[in-house]
Amino acid sequence: KPKASARKKKGDSASSTTPPTPTPTPTTTVESAPRLSATAKGKQPSRATTPTEPT
């Protein structure tokens, strides 16, 4: 039983360490993606309305 606890604790630590690492990466990519996508797609109301209306 004590071995199982140690093994489970080790797994939790590994699992906990794994999510935090990939979390910051996707978070930065997702935050950067919407910002780049919004600017590139012209989702901005000010910029999108101006170029979209005349165009």
Domain-wise residue ranges, the chain:
2-52
Q: Residue 33 to residues 3, 22, 26, 47: CA-CA distances in angstroms?
A: 44, 16, 10, 18
Say which residue the tokens 């170029």 belong to.
Answer: 51
Task: Mention every residue, 6+ apart, whose C-beta is less than 8 A from residue 43.
Answer: 37
CB 9 within 8 A of CB 3: no
Residue 50 confidence (pLDDT): 57
1-47 pLDDT, tens digit each: 555 555 555 555 555 454 445 455 555 555 555 555 555 555 555 55
Residue 2 confidence (pLDDT): 54
CA angle at 27 for the pair 26 and 28, rounded to the nearest 5°: 90
Residue 37 confidence (pLDDT): 56
Residue 39 confidence (pLDDT): 56
